[in-house]
């Protein structure tokens, strides 16, 4: 099973930049999208269906904001929209599709860059997300949690760890959360395959020619529950793909 995760920074904008042609050529089994920035009726479902993908989306109440989706070649056994926590579900941050024993999630973690209030919201989300996933795993043990986590884990994951030491997305408490999340039973699939590969990023600022100079951050992850980490065949970052300020990341799993 080939899985793509991609923060498209607006699905309609990405389509205008050639997203559909790329999707047709890439032809994955499942695509987890974040930051669709579209209401359900604004998502190009018919275009996806013409390429053989069924589309399941969960939008924010606020127009043009947040939103997640899953595109799938195979019909899932079940799709779950949201986490059942209104303050997060109102922002359209979580959708899950079940395939046999496997559950694939598209998740968009909040950013804290706009100020203290949103940083506090982000930290509360992180704790609530961890607890939600721990409960979910009792019912669905085999989890793949794909998305924009808005956190760089280690200095190797950011182009300038020194000057960004106090930046949201690389704060000590955020990095500690990733540490503890991994220790609670998850594998960062990219680092499972590429243990110490430097200069591997999934997001670049639009400012100061950052992408051309590869001054980026690795903030997108396909986290895999440890009990299925032996099914990881490959994981990568598709940095040459440019429809967004992020690029897609990939995960290939053995089918059971």
Residues annotated as part of the active site: 108, 148
CB 147 within 8 A of CB 5: yes
For residue 109, give both structure tokens.
Answer: 């973690």
Q: How far is C-alpha 129 from the chain's CA centre?
A: 14
What's the token pair of residue 86?
A: 């209104």
- For 191-243, the DSSP string reads HHHSTT--S--SEE-SSTTTTTTT-EE--EEEEEEGGGGGGEEEEEE-TT--S
Closest to 110 measured CA to CA, from 130, 96, 124: 124
């Amino acid at each position: 099973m080939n899985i793509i995760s991609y923060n498209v920074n607006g699905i309609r904008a990405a389509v205008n930049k050639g997203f559909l042609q790329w999707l047709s050529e890439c032809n994955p089994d499942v695509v987890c999208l974040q930051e669709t920035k579209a209401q359900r009726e604004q998502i190009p479902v018919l275009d996806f269906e013409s390429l053989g993908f069924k589309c399941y989306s969960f939008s924010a109440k606020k127009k043009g904001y947040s939103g997640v989706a899953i595109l799938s070649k195979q019909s899932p056994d079940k799709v779950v929209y949201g986490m059942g926590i209104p303050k997060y579900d109102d922002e359209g941050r979580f959708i899950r599709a079940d395939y046999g024993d496997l559950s694939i999630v598209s998740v968009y973690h909040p950013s804290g860059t706009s100020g203290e209030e949103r940083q506090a919201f982000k930290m509360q989300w992180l704790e609530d997300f961890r607890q939600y996933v721990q409960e979910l795993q009792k019912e669905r043990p085999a989890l793949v949690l794909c998305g924009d986590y808005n956190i760089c884990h280690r200095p190797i994951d950011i182009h300038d760890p020194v000057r960004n030491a106090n930046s949201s997305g690389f704060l000590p408490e955020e990095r500690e959360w990733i540490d503890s999340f991994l220790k609670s039973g998850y594998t960062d699939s990219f680092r499972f395959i590429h243990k110490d590969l430097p200069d591997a990023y999934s997001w670049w600022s639009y400012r100061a020619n950052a992408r051309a100079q590869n001054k980026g951050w690795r903030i997108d992850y396909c986290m895999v529950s440890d009990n299925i980490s032996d099914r990881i065949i490959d994981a990568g970052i598709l940095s040459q793909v440019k429809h967004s300020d992020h690029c897609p990341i990939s995960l290939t799993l053995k089918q059971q």
